[in-house]
Amino acid sequence: MEFPQQQKPADGKIIYPPGVKEITDKITNDEVVKRLKMVVKTFMDMDQDSEDEKQQYLPLALHLASEFFLRNPNKDVRLLVACCLADIFRIYAPEAPYTSHDKLKDIFLFITRQLKGLEDTKSPQFNRYFYLLENIAWVKSYNICFELEDCNEIFIQLFKTLFSVINNSHNQKVHMHMLDLMSSIIMEGDGVTQELLDSILINLIPAHKNLNKQAFDLSKVLLKRTVQTIETCIANFFNQVLVLGKSSVSDLSEHVFDLIQELFAIDPPLLLSVMPQLEFKLKSNDGEERLAVVRLLAKLFGAKDSELATQNRPLWQCFLGRFNDIHVPVRLECVKFASHCLMNHPDLAKDLTEFLKVRSHDPEEAIRHDVIVTIITAGKKDLCLVNDQLLGFVRERTLDKRWRVRKEAMMGLAQLYKKYCLHHEAGKDAAQKVSWIKDKLLHIYYQNSIDDKLLVEKIFAQYMVPHNLETQEKMKCLYYLYSCLDPNAVKALNEMWKCQNMLRSQVRELLDLHKQPTSEANSAAMFGKLMTIAKNLPDPGKAQDFMKKFNQVLGEDEKLRVQLELLISPTCSCKQADVCVREITRKLANPKQPTNPFLEMVKFLLERIAPVHIDSEAISALVKLLNKSIEGTADDEEEGVPPDAAIRSGLELLKVLSFTHPTSFHSAETYESLLQCLKMEDEKVAEAAIQIFRNTGHKIETELPQIRSTLIPILHQKAKRGTPHQAKQAVHCIHAIFHNKEVQLAQIFEPLSRSLNADVPEQLITPLVSLGHISMLAPDQFASPMKSIVANFIVKDLLMNDRSVGNKNGKLWCPDEEVSPEVLAKVHAIKLLVRWLLGMRNNQSKSANSTLRLLSAMLVSEGDLTEQKKISKSDMSRLRLAAGGAIMKLSQEPCYHEIITPEQFQLSALVINDECYQVRQIFAQKVHVALVKLQLPLEYMSIFSLCAKDPVKERRAHARQCLLKNISVRREYIKQNPMAHEKLLSLLPEYVVPYMIHLLAHDPDFTKPQDSEQLRDIKECLWFMLEVLMTKNENNSHAFLKKMVDNIKQTKDAQAPDDPKTNEKLYIVCDIALFVIVNKSTTYHLESPKDPVLPTKFFTPPDKDFINDKEYLSLEARTVLLTGKPKPASVLGTVNKPLSVTGKRPYNRTAGSETGSNVSGNSEPSSPSGNKGREQGTDASETGASENEENPVILLSVTPVKTEPVKNKEVNSEQSATGNDSAERGKKRAAPADGSENMHQNPEEDQPDEMGGPVPPKPRRGRPPKSQTPGSTEKSSEAKTGGRGRKRAAPTLESPGGLEAANVKVPKQQKDTEAKKAPAQRQMDLQR
């Protein structure tokens, strides 16, 4: 627009409105103001149509724009002039009366400066300022500036002024006019310059936003109103900064991410063109830059109403990729974002799950920790926000290697459990979804870390059964929790109470020591107790120092001792315990020391020993709940527990508590309820009730005669006609709680002993159990009468007779309910023999020798003592297990251990190599449990070396874990008990080596001293044990082991000292052991810390004149052991491809040797001493036996048949790597149909083949060869040799008939002169 040249009137005189005198610099300011107000009023009243007036006052309009007015120092003058100028622009619109661009610029800058007066709303002149704003906004006066070259300067000044003056005292009209003014400039101009854009955006930066919230709001509305116009300018700005990297384009460049966040919150379309640029930035090489972008996008995607993830999928996918960023802070930021995203956008949970899964295994502890926090935070807000997979990640992290992560996972799950299961905040479905948490948390009690155990105890007391609840509510919570736990969780909870009870006992014993006079022995005993207590606290090192300090305080403060005694008293109630803990804490607190680690440690101790759940009132409440369940008036169904299950688990709970809190049970009401349980039909309920009486009823006879008179007949009835378990508990209960126990037991013993009848085995089991326990508990009274029962009935009538014919289905094992009554009776008869001997604890009558011969004969005959072949395979397995277990049980008693011969020990040891998987499994567990309790002699640990030959990987892994546990228990015991150093021969784990060497030298499979296969087997067994022993070289133990083996070579085998072959085998095993030690250890040559002592039962004393320095291993044998030549192919065509590793025997494995497991035995040597036996293709694999199943399958066939291989449950990584070798390896047999488990052979295989040749028998372990009389060749095919449980692959058959017998098990070499002894001969042998 062009400004017309308007002329002054001809006379040039300025015309003022009527009554207004001339305004010049000659008059005072007040007069100027007075005259200007009249001018303002005149202009206000004028409108655009007053042409005459417009012409008349034109000179005045020009005069008001003079320097005198624009530069006037008086603000009132300036304001009135500004108002006049605004009206002039309104009146003369669309043309302005001013011709000069510079003048226009000065005028608009002048008006802009006057707008600053809007800031003070309380000013008397505010209305004039508002009028000024309203006028220029309504007329859009500033639009005139578009024609000016430097209009941008004016606009920037205007925008800055408006944003600076806006405040919370302004009303809506002020906001509206400002917006109208600014939006018209933006929308009607040619574009928005960067400086003008900056003046708007600067108000969005957090620092400015916090200073002037109204400016922020004004900018926000302005941007929303002008989005169509300004979006392009914004996109250009971000493109310059983000893509081109031109940070100099604006002072706001460093705040781009803050701006994007605010702009997105204001109106997402503002960033329509910017988002693709962020995807580019996410892939930047600069980690810090990626971090900034991730932080920004996390806020954008996670915002409550954000739809960015659905609208911009490529950006969302690119953002998810940053979960796997190499930069740790980026991954951490992504994980933190996930929490908000889960809570605000549940629909995105599926996308996040996979990425959180990967991050839950992140190498960075902080990231794994935050994954848990993310999931738990969302879960606590609403369980529907987290799916089962996400909860599964938290579950996994409860076993994390880092304590901080484990703690967070456990506490998080505990909080979810309390919220949804205990308080039922989201209904039954939510409670069901997290019902697994209670079991999982208790399972963690199995972990070795004391921190884990303590946290589980804390969680149990605060979240699972909150201790601050009222007793009734608390016990109801415990009652139904116990009913719903899985068996392992129940065991863990029981163990927790047991550990707490043991710690209470330790503290009680410590207090007892304080009551005794001071002495050196007392101080030593006290120190031992303190060390034991410290082991039950976190950070045992610090705990020891703090416990010493605590002990010192106890010695000095009698009142503290009294409080502690009250706390651990059996009669202490939960409320009393709370008071005691507070009182002790108060005494030990130091106000000057806010963080007191000593006090924290004592609190840990007090928390563990304080009875926070169980007291007399609690037991009474539990019993009432049990009564309600019995009566059917409880909330069992409502709690999701069937009444029968509630009763049974309730009794089990009371039974466990009867061990730890027996005093709390002593009330007539409790015992009356238990008597009702005794009369119930449920066997388990009655059994538990009897056990509770046994544990808690010591005062019944003296204080509750009525209960006593009712209880006695019930116990008698259970001992005579109850279940075996009830009978056992009834006998023990009578023995424990009655003074006239002899009379009571005699009343049971006599009728039972007279009623024994082997023809009715179903009715024999309970009497046998009762008689066995009676004879064990009261040997003086019943040992003699039992001897005649044992001789005449147990051995002669029951064990030496087979009255019924067993099931000939070929199974090696069957479920308990399918075992024949006769065999069950025989098993219990064997147990009776053991209990009778354990009661006597002497061998004066030589009964133990006879019993051991009987048990050995049972093992030699493989369970069929009479050898009449009436008994089934599965029943024979049961009897072998019973016999092996019986010998092991007797060896726990020193007087019987002495008379067990090496041969008998070897026979029982071979049970761990039994052909039946379940026999091996159960026997190994029995041996392990007894060894861990230090009840079995050390030589029994050597049995585990035979597990190297087990064809099932799980069994080898289990055996290795057993060894690790036993060795650590023994070493820890030696450390904690100074007196143990006198018994090192029976405690030091290294002393197992002589027993192992002797056992392996007498291995029935070790028949050819120089056979490479057999030597590798021996080496494998030795390494199985030595690897665990040699993990740490404590006190030069490697040198000690070598010296021990060297010493054995200087002795002879005490079992056959004059037999050169026996001694040669012993020395060969020694040489293999030395070979393993030398190849494994680098310190074997050092000085041995002590001189080893060898067991005289197995080795003769060393002969000073005898120096055995002979090398018994040939060079070829050593090469085989070192490098491992490929084994010959088995009859099934199995080919083992050796790995060519210099100096190390190739690692051979057949595809079938690992039966479906990825559990690592981790027992291969890392030295040149190789590995074979545990991984070799044994019979079980080569015949398709799947011993990993509950019942192993072994099929033999005369005709070679190709079948599909057995499919493992999981493919081992090594198996999959060699999967293409199946053609070379040969195919395994298909798994047979149901019912063929543990089959020995097909029925037709018992018959000779068509040519009349008998099928060669399979070799067995545990039975020495018998001499065979001449002429008995027809029996030779049935002869059996040692080798139970390890079915050998047959050697390659090179004869023409080899193919026909390809799948037949070939026995070891037997002498033609060997034959079976007749059963009569066996009977004679037993009497020797």
Residue 1145 pLDDT greater than 50, yes or no: no
Contact yes or no for 862/876 (Cβ under 8 A)? yes
> 1272-1281 pLDDT, tens per residue?
333 333 333 3
Stretch 577-606: mean pLDDT, rounded? 86
Q: Mind listing the pLDDT tens digit for each residue in 183-201?
A: 888 888 777 888 888 888 8
Of residues 950, 941, 833, the one with CA closest to residue 887? 833
Note the pLDDT tens digit of each residue in 500-552: 999 999 999 999 999 888 888 888 888 888 988 998 899 888 899 999 999 99
- pLDDT tens digits, 52-62: 676 767 777 77
Q: Please give the mean pLDDT across all residues of the chain.
A: 79
pLDDT of 222 strictly over 60: yes
The CA distances from residue 1028 to 54, 672, 960, 963, 964, in Å, are 112, 54, 8, 7, 7
Which of the two residues, 279 and 604, has the higher pLDDT score?
604
Judged against a pLDDT cut of 90, whether residue 771 lies above it is answered with: yes
Tell me, what's the pLDDT at 1259?
Answer: 43
The top-scoring range by mean pLDDT among 672-676, 885-889, 1005-1009 is 885-889
Give the count of beta carbons closer than 10 Å to the beta carbon of residue 225.
17
Higher pLDDT, 171 or 49: 171
| Whether the predicted pLDDT of 1024 surpasses 90 | yes
Mean pLDDT of 990-1008: 93
Of how many residues is the chain composed?
Answer: 1328
The pair phi, psi for residue 1099, each rounded to 5°, is -135, 140
**If you average pLDDT over residues 1200-1205, what whole number do you get?**
37
Neighbours of 352 (CB within 10 A): 25
Helix 597-609, helix 574-588: angle, nearest 10: 170
pLDDT for residue 920 is more than 80: yes
What is the pLDDT confidence band of residue 1125, given thresholds at 50, 70 and 90? low
Tell me what percent of the chain is helix, strand and coil, each rounded to the nearest 5. 65, 0, 35
Contact 218, 175 (CB under 8 A): yes
Average pLDDT over residues 238-256: 74
Whole-angstrom distance, CA of residue 876 vs CA of residue 1153: 26
Q: What is the CA radius of gyration of the chain?
A: 47
User: What does the pLDDT look like over 454-488, one tens digit per residue?
Assistant: 999 999 999 999 998 999 999 999 999 999 999 99
Amino acid 938: pLDDT: 93
Longest Cα–Cα distance in the chain: 165
| Alpha-carbon span 907 to 365, nearest angstrom | 52
Q: Dihedral, CA atoms, 1054, 1057, 1060, 1064, nearest 10 degrees?
A: 30
Rounded Cα distance, 592 and 839, in Å = 62
Whether the predicted pLDDT of 1107 surpasses 80: yes
What pLDDT, on a 0 to 100 scale, did the predictor assign at position 1004? 93
Residue type, 533: I
Q: Which residue has the higher pLDDT, 257 or 568?
A: 568
User: pLDDT at residue 1231 above 60?
Assistant: no
Residue 1295 has pLDDT above 60, yes or no: no
- Provide CB contacts within 8 A for 445, sequence distance 6+: 452, 453, 456, 492, 493, 495, 496
Q: Report how far residue 467's alpha carbon sits from residue 461's, in angstroms, rounded to the nearest whole number.
A: 6
Q: What is the pLDDT of residue 38?
A: 76
Q: Taking the CA atoms of 996, 997, 999 and 1003 in sequence, report the sign of the dihedral they define.
A: positive
Amino acid letter at 1029?
Answer: L
Q: What is the pLDDT of residue 12?
A: 54
* Banded pLDDT at 113 (limits 50, 70, 90): confident
pLDDT at 347: 84
Residue-by-residue DSSP string for 84-139: HHHHHHHHHTTS-S---HHHHHHHHHHHHHHGGGGG-TTSTTHHHHHHHHHHHHHH
Bin 112: left if φ > 0, else alpha if -120 < ψ < 50, else beta: alpha
Asked if the model's pLDDT at residue 1082 lies above 70, the reply is yes
Query: Is 60 exceeded by the pLDDT of residue 1139?
Result: no
- Convert 780-820 into a string of H (helix), E (strand) and C (coil): HHHHHHHHHHHHHHHHHHHHCCCCCCCCCCCCCCCCHHHCC
C-alpha span between 793 and 778 (Å, rounded): 20
b/e 1255-1275 (16+ beta carbons within 10 angstroms → b):
bebbbbbbbebbebeeeeeee
What values do phi and psi take at 986, rounded to 5? -100, -5
- Specify the pLDDT at position 867: 86
> Is 132 or 441 the better-scoring residue by pLDDT?
441
Give 5's pLDDT tier (boundaries 50, 70, 90): very low
What number is the average pLDDT over the span 680-697?
89
* 1162-1176 confidence digits (pLDDT tens): 333 333 333 433 333
Contact 620, 670 (CB under 8 A): yes
Among 654-663, 746-755, 813-822, 1077-1086, the minimum mean pLDDT is found in 1077-1086
What long-range pairs does 520-528 form, CB within 8 A, spacing at least 24? Answer: 524/978, 526/551, 528/976, 528/977
Phi first, then psi: give them for residue 610, nearest 5 degrees.
-75, 135
- Of 104-113, 170-179, 925-934, least confident by mean pLDDT is 104-113
Distance, in Å, from the CA atom of 490 to the CA atom of 445, rounded to the nearest integer, reads 11
Is residue 834 very low, low, confident or very high in pLDDT (cuts 50, 70, 90)?
Answer: very high
CA-to-CA distance for 1120 and 74, rounded, in angstroms? 113
Using an 8 Å Cβ cutoff, are 89 and 139 in contact? yes
